[in-house]
Structure formats: C-alpha cells, structure tokens
Structure 1
Amino acid sequence: MDENLGDIALLRLVGSLRNAAEEGNIDALYALIERDAKVLKWIDKIPFVETPLHTAASAGQTEFAMEIMRLKPSFARKLNQNGFTPVHLALQMNHTQLVHRLLDVDETLVRVQGKEGVTPLHYVVQTGNLEVLLEFLKVCPKSIEDITIRRETVLHIALKYNMFDAFQLLLGWLQRAWFRDVSRWEKLLLNWKDDKGNTVLHIAASKNQSEIVRLLLKFNTVDVNVKDTRGRKALDMLQVDNPQSNCARHLTGLKLFCTSDAKYDANYFKSVVSIEEMVYIMFLRLTTNISNDMRNVLLVVAALLITVSFQAAISPPGGVWQEDGETHDGLRHYAATSIMENGIYSILAGLNAISFFVTVFATFLLLPSGFGTRLFCLPLYTLSLYFIASLCLLSPKISFPHEVIEIWKIFILSCVISPGGILLLVVFVSVRRNKLVVAFRPRVKVLDTTLTM
C-alpha cells in the first residue's frame, strides 16, 4: 500500500516537473527537487520516458533545458516512448538555437540514434535544413558514418526524400574533407548498400536524376558495377526504364570538369570542386594523415636537403678561381667564380635549384597552419634570394664587363620572379589551406570554460 502511495506521489511529482518544463520555470524545478532530491534519479532509471529535458526541448525552453542538462546530462541520450531524444524533438519543433546549446555541452548528441536508428543528422537531411546540416558536420564529422536500421546512410536518405541540395552539399563536403581516414569514408559511403542492396548510384538512377549521376561519376571511388539484391547494376536499371535518358549516357562514361567560387556556406559545399582545389585537398589529406613523428622526420630530412643544396650553391664542384687570370685557351676568368665550364655549371645549377625550391615548398607544406607558418614566408624568401645570388655570382664569366652586366640582369630578374613566384605560391597555398580549414572549423562553444581570448 505504501509502495502504491509512493508511486502515486512520484507520478504527481513527474507531472509537476513536466508543467515546470513547459513553462520554463527553473524555480519550480528546484522546489520539486527540494520535495524529493532523488526525483531526477528515479526518472533516469526508466528506460523510455519523457524526461523534463524532452518537454523543455519540445516547448523551446532553452534556459530550463540547459539547467536540466547541467543537472542530469544523461537525459539528453534517453529516448521517450516514441523513440525520440530531446535533440530530435527540438529539431521537429524547429528550435534550432536550443539544439546548438545542447551541442555546446555534448557534440556527440548528433550521433544518438532514435526510432529506426535515425540520428539528428539523418533528420536534418530528411527535412533539407542545410544550415543545421552543415553545423552538425562541423561539430561532429564522424556522424556521417551512422546508418539506420535499413542500412541507409545520410546519402541514401537525402535521395530517398528528394533532398538533392542536401545530397550535393554532402558530396561536396566529402570531396573537400581532409580529416584522417576521410578517403575511407568517401569510398565506404559512396558504395554502401542499404538493406535492398542499393547504393546511392542505384537510387539516383532509379529516380532518373542525371545531375546527381553526373556528380557521383566524378568520384573515382564510385563502383558502377555494384549490383543490388536483384542482381541489377545502376546502368541496367536505366536501360530497362529509360535507355535514352541523360542518366544512361552519363553512366556510359561522361565526366565533366568545371569550377566555381568557394563560399563559406552551404553553396560552397554544393559547388563543384575545382581542379586546383582537388590538388590541394590531396596535399592536405596527405599531410593530415602524417603522424607527428613522421612529420618531424620529414622536416629533418627537408632541412638536410636544403643545407646540402645551399652548400652546393656556394661551393660548386671543382671549386672556384682564387684570382683573376686566363685559362690555357686564353679565356678570361675572375676570382670567386666557378672553375667549371659555363654549360656544365648551368646544368648543375639548374638541377640544384629545382631540388632547393621543391624542398623549400615541401617544408612549408609540412609545417602546421597558422600565423607561425606565415612568418616563415619572409625567411624563405630571403633564403631564396641568397641562393639565387650565390648561383649568379659564382657562375663562370667569360668577358668583362658585358657578361657581368648580363649576369646581374639575370640575377635581378631571378630575385623578383623566382622567389616572388615561390612566395606567391606559398601565399596561395596558405589561403587555400585556410579556406578549407575554416570551412571545417567547429563553431566556438559558448560553454567552453577553457576558451581564452
């Protein structure tokens, strides 16, 4: 009897908590906790329950939700009787600001699976909310790996619900992502089969979406020969349904290259990746996958190569003339110039210059991005000037002053063009890298107490 009375009292307390959550009354919350300090703990023991956080999320009561999140963060991962988490409910009611605040506390809430294995990321793809979709990918990139009970990825869901803008955004995100193991993500997601054996290429072909097919065929990792559970390839489906369609022609091998401007919003990821961007994405992925130990080793090797190249420039093979004079052939030579013939010297100097500048550029790529790396642009530039000056000054001079004047002309042009070109290349690469880094940079956490200005 006492147990029944206790259950009735608890139910009344839970009802009062629900009312407080709907109204966003934090004072009422603590009044109820004062009546029974274990009320939140008892609620947490129930496997599937409408917690106060669920109620606050549905009602859009942000402050109340954050207070509950602080007291009982486990509520954020619980499912109610309908199979939804608080984040799911907030998204359904379009309370995006509340969703952002919850993610400030725990970014992995994006990956919590609700009814039928649908995560919050899957839901925003279903609804086509590009702004929230991009935010979710920023705070938790690994959420793109999650699948539903039907083995559907976010790409499957986007096509299933005809959210083609979201699909293009996801493809662009995959192309530009430079995280470790992202190449594995790309290959896995683009060739993943749902419970019916359909890849995203099968779905695009079945919907006769020629633009989507064209975009997919830009990925070398897409396997056009994959078969569904009925043994059909994507091309087979098109040839049966509409053999003269644009999709069928695309699947026979059409590949297009085009460019677009990069913008830091959904349009950026929906745009086609330019060739120059592809090259740098490849470099960025390679440098990101390098471990710190390997990076240190490569930097040491690069430093040694720069040292050797520079030493070869100031101390050419065969040495230099010690004084002015003439050779046995009657050719005039000058002190501190190379003993080698002019043609041989030019070949060796050219090869040495290639080695030097490639190593300098590789050194820049291996350095972490940031202000410190940009500071290296100036010493790299001045070192390049010194290198070119050494090659020019030590080159064999046949006649004076005409040849010397010509050499100085070459030196001045080289000082402006060669190191300047390297500097422009470094700046360009730095800007490209910063664009990609910023595009994937997570939003600043409001609740991050370790943040320093």
Structure 2
Amino acid sequence: MAAELYDAVSKGDITKFQKLVAQDPYLVESASFACSRNVLHIATMRGQTAMVEEVLNMNPWLSRSLDSQQSSPLHIAAAQGRFEISRKLLSVAPETRWWRDCRDMNPVHIAAVNGHVEILGHLLEESLLPAMERVGRGQTVLHLCVKHGQLTTLQFLVDKLWELVEAVDEDGETLLHLAVRSTQLEILKYLVESKKIRSKPNSMGITPLQILNRSPPGTAHYSEMGRIIDTWFAPVVHYREVLPKMNDAVMVVAVLIATMAFQNAVNPPGGVWQDDASSHKAGDAVIAYTHPAIYKSLLKTNDMAFFSSLLIIFFITSGMTSKSIYALGSAIFCMLVSVTAIALSYKASVEATTPGTKLPVAGRIVAGIGLLLFLQIFYRIAISIFYYVREKRRIRRQELLLILHPYASSIVYDRLLIVHYFQVFYSRVNCP
C-alpha cells in the first residue's frame, strides 16, 4: 500500500490517493519514504500542486514535518522553484520560513541560491527578517548569491537589504572578495557600477585587488576583472575613512611650525641685549636695532606662521576636520601658508645673522620644493621595486602613476584617491 501511495502522490492521481486513504485513514500520517520524507515532501518534489492542496486539507501539520536533512516541504518548494506550492505551504505554516535545514539555511537562503526571485518576493512580503539571518561562517544571503553566481537574485535583494551590502563574514570578506575569488565577472561589474559597496581589506589585510593579482593569469576573465578593478579600485574609498589619518599628519606639522615660530619669537636670531643703554634696554632683540627692516619682515612672517598653525590646531581639536572635507581643506591651506611663512622667516633670520648674505626667495623655495619632490619620487620608486619583488607581478599603469606623482590627484569632492594609494603601498611595505 505504501508503494501504491507513493505512485499516486508522484503522479498526482487524487482519485487513487483518496481511495487508499479511505482504506487506511492513518496512511497519510504513518507513511514514510526515503530520507524520512512524507507524502507532502513527495508531492512537493514532483510539483503536484493539486495533490499538495489535497494533503494539506487532510493533514496541514505535515507541512511542519522535517525529513532526515531537516528540510520542510517549504525548503523543497523553494529549492525547486514551485511558486504555487510554496504559496500554499506558507499560508498553512508561515513559521517554516525561519526553519533551517542541515546546511543551516532557511527557505529564503535556498530560494536565493537557486535564483527563484518570485518565491523570494513572496517569502519576504510580510518581513525581511528571515533574509537577515546568517548561515555558516557568518555569511549573509547576499554572500550566497555571489558564491553561486545568482546575479538576478542579488539585484533583487540588494534593493531590499541595503544594510547588508557591506556586511562581512567571519573572515572579514565582502561581496567583492567573493566575486573575485569565484570569478563572477557579471556580479563584479554590477557591484562596481552600482557603487553600493566600498573596497576594503579582509581580516588578513587582503583586498580584492590582491586576490586577483595572486590568481593565475590564465584564470577565466582575469584581464577583464583586472580592468574593472583598476578603473574603480581607488575612487570607492570615501573620504571619511582617511580624514582621521590626515588629521594626525597635519597636526604634527602644525605643532612643529608653531613651536618653531614661538621659539623664534622668544629667542630671536642674534640674541637679545644683556644690559641697559641709552639706545636699548635689556631683553630687547639685537636685530631690531641692527637690521630694523629685516626684523619687521621677520616679525610679520613669524606671526603669520604661528597664528596659521594655531588656526590649524583649532580646526583639528574642534573635530571639524573629521567631519567636513571643506574644514580639512581649510586646514591644509593654512598649513601651506604656515610652511611658506616659516620659510620666509628662515630667510630673514639668515640675512640678519650672516652679513652680506642676500637669499633669493623664489630660488630657495623652488629648490626646497624640488628637493622634497625628488626625495618623495625616489622613495616611491623604491616602494614600487620592493612591491614588484614581493608580489612577483607587473605594476599596473595607474598604480605606478600615483606612486610617482603623489600630488597628481588630491581632494576630488568626496574622494581622496592618492591617500588611499599611500595606505595601500605603505601597508604592503610594512606588513610582516
């Protein structure tokens, strides 16, 4: 009789099914087939919608029965894309949308993995919470879509679960990491073009770009994925991620210049008079009497350096530069003013303490800037050589351009391209 029941349910023969049930009213509840499945599991697997409805009318509790893999009939319907059956099962046992099978997946996860968007929409009509549940290793339903190459379900879920787009698993890996690892070119294009996710390293400090670089060159879509990441890798970094680190650098420069300017004021070049006389008083600056014109220039430039540095310190300590790119830009402008003023102050000091010396302002400044740029370029070439030896790969043109020309791109609205590349290359050099 069990074999006849299995045959009737598989073929959707309701007449035969009702005849068998009439002979044994307990047959539906007691019948068990392979993998501990009941008649509702079998009817769902075979896609027999009418038979599912008939069984639910007889015994709706069978919709809550689990097989040996901890799968309910709703799990099977979600896996096979049986929309009408899943709708009937959900109306009888809505709580089964939360239940997890032996792989720790609920029906929402299973529908997403198999690309059944229509069933996903129905499962999430009342609540999005089942889709917020994480599976093994802390992966979200979006991670599952990427791993299994389900672009359509990923697009559907991203619009609903925007807060999960940048979620990471237990390894700190984002959707981008998984897209590169599994060579999902179309998904990578979608993630890049949608601009809904930022590139960041995983818990081991590895970025999606590094994952691609360590892949064999013969990997499918290697060159195309490299082109996509190359054109997008830096701009996705938001300025709020790098503002605190830039604040630290600017603060160090501001405090240093303020200290230099203060020291220059209390201890002017040439020293101070030690005695009182008709022409001067003890404690007066000697330069004020011997070179009054130069001393006035020294005072102006020194004051400009000191107060512009104080303004920078105010910007940073007030927290304005950590929140606004414009405040940080103002602080950087003040830093340039302060650096220029302290250079002019140095010029005036040298001219006052070294008789017969007349320093050309423009020439000294240009020479100093040229020396700094040369040292920076030399240092970045050394970094690029070290990186090449370490990573055993060719440096891409965009990376080399940003290494050799650190000021080619600075602040572009809400993006700080070059700062991000500094962080990338410095981290590669400093990593163990």
- What TM-score, normalized to structure 1? 0.42
- What TM-score, normalized to structure 2? 0.44
Structure ID, larger Rg: 2
